[in-house]
Amino acid sequence: MEKKTFVTKEQLEEIVKEYPTPFHLYDEKGIRENAQAMKEAFAWNKGFKEYFAVKATPNPFLIQILREYGFGCDCSSYTELMLSKAIGCVGEDIMFSSNDTPAEEFQYANELGATINLDDITHIEYLEKAIGTLPKRISCRYNPGGVFEVCNGIMDNPGDAKYGMTEPQIFEAFRILKNKGVEEFGIHAFLASNTVTNEYYPMLAKRLFELAVCLEKETGAKICFINLSGGVGIPYRPGEKPNDIRAIGEGVRKVYEEVLTPAGMNDVAIYTELGRFMMGPYGCLVTKAIHEKHTHKEYIGVDACAVNLMRPAMYGAYHHITVMGKENQPCDYKYDVTGSLCENNDKFAVDRMLPKIEKGDLLVIHDTGAHGFAMGYNYNGKLKSAELLLKTDGSIQLIRRAETPKDYFATFDCFDFYKNLDCNQ
């Protein structure tokens, strides 16, 4: 089964006349439809808020679209906080979830009025020292340890994760924070990554709801929100069934009414921090075949590389590839699709069956809307690409220009060496 592209060959041929490959392209229509579905799925919860994981796609133009649907920002660093502030996202519209956090980042988050999510019990004293009086509203991150299973299959191993507090620690943390004047509490947990099942969120919610009931009963802390964090994934491979966010929302609602409502906690808000689910399928990397090599294997060299999309090199992650204009041709050629880095893992596909590829063909690498451009780097002196938005009216908007050599060398601008560079070549 072929995954469908949100852009046509004819559209791409017009785009590349102005914007050379490689570039990341995003689908405004898909983003908006998904945001609306997310909002509707949790409309039953009066306080619901999605805090988009800025780390996934840190582009203000895209985040502004989500802001139109009432979404906030999940930040984990100083610069992500800066980005959020620059687009007018401040106060309780920011959830600051970080780990091994420098004092100045806590200080800035507090200055912006963000809800701070503490990763460890020792961070209570550290935060207090950094900002003085603790905020009235605070969250703690929970890690139950062990493995987390859905449908009798092991999904992830929280016990090996560096994030969050143990159950005894979170009880003690709530007591300490309450004694220090904190009035509004939240619970946060991330137990599995990229789950493609409608059961993950409801199962996680049940665990956190039960914890919340015990915490409120035993510590007297007023729990105002429960943050289900991320983990709702997308189908990277053809034929995989996507998550149904409305079914997920309904599953969480049922557990809410089973656990929280009888405990008199039906005013607890539900928060989410989705990145991949919100943006992943609505971005793609567009690249051009520029070389072919016939040695021990058949290689197609493209003008993108792991700088543009790191996941296949880093994780061996699968990203589907469409050869534009050849969607209906048989996939009877086996290729490694490679970039130009001096690293043998710089491959977008290994032994992938594709239609015959010729130099000049445009390739669309799917599902790069999250953790695609964001994970880029500059190894080999490679420059990061432009980002473009395919708007609902069919027009193209440049939402990030491509890097230039001047950008690459900019951190040398305090040295004479910089003056001798000709960055206009």
Secondary structure of residue 152 in the 3-state scheme: coil
Dist CA 395 CA 254 (whole Å): 42
Q: Which residue has the tokens 């229509």?
A: 29
Q: Do residues 128 and 173 make contact, with C-beta atoms less than 8 angstroms apart?
A: no
Question: How many residues would you count in the chain?
Answer: 425
Quick check: is 73 catalytic?
Answer: no
Furthest CA-CA distance within the chain: 72
Q: Radius of gyration (Cα) for the chain, nearest Å?
A: 23
Residue 20: both structure tokens together:
């050379």
DSSP count for the chain of H helices, then E strands: 13, 19
CA angle (248, 184, 111) in 5-degree steps = 100
Nearest to 396 by CA among 33, 17, 119: 17
Nearest to 95 by CA among 282, 269, 279: 269
Residues with Cβ < 8 Å from 421, sequence gap 6 or more? 405, 409, 412
Strand partners, 193: none
Dist CA 217 CA 206 (whole Å): 17
Backbone CA torsion sign across 351, 352, 355, 358: negative
Helix axes 167-179, 123-131, angle to 10 degrees: 30
Please pick, among 73, 89, 284, 342, the residue that the annotation labels catalytic. 342
395, with CB counted inside 10 A (0-12, 13-18, 19+), is exposed
Distance between the two ends of the chain, CA-based, in angstroms? Answer: 45
Which sequence positions are flagged as catalytic? 342
